[in-house]
Amino acid sequence: MNSKVVFITGATSGFGRATAHRFAEAGWSLVLTGRRSERLEALKASLGAKVPVHIATLDVRKNEAVLEVVANLPDAFREVTCLVNNAGLALAPEPAQKTDLNDWHTMIDTNITGLVNVTHALLPTLIETGKGASIINIGSVAGQWPYPGSHVYGASKAFVQQFSYNLRCDLIATGVRVTDIAPGMAETEFTLVRTKGNQAASDALYSTTTPLSAEDIAEQIFYVATLPAHININRLEIMPSRQAWAGFAVDRDN
pLDDT of 57 reads: 98
Q: How far is CA 129 from CA 27, 144, 176, 177, 254, in A?
A: 18, 31, 8, 11, 62
Question: What type of residue is 225?
Answer: A
Domains in the chain, start-ordered, CATH in brackets?
5-238 (3.40.50.720)
- Residue 201's CB is within 10 A of a number of other CB atoms, namely 14
Q: Which residues of the chain have pLDDT under 50?
A: 1
Active-site pick, 153, 165, 206, 223 = 153
Q: What is the dihedral of CA 151, 157, 160, 162, to 10 degrees?
A: -60
> Is-contact 232 171, C-beta < 8 A?
no
pLDDT of 2 reads: 62
- Residue 65's CB is within 10 A of a number of other CB atoms, namely 16
Rounded distance between C-alpha atoms, residue 115 and residue 137, angstroms: 8
Q: What residues contact 135, with CB distance under 8 A and at least 6 apart?
A: 82, 83, 85, 119, 126, 164, 167, 176, 177, 178, 179
The edge-to-edge listing of strands for the beta sheet with 235-238 is: 53-57, 29-34, 5-8, 80-85, 134-138, 177-183, 235-238
Predicted TM-score of the model (pTM): 0.95
Let me know if 206 is a catalytic residue. no
pLDDT of 247 reads: 87
Q: DSSP character for 35?
A: S
Helix (H, G, I), strand (E, B) or coil at 154: helix
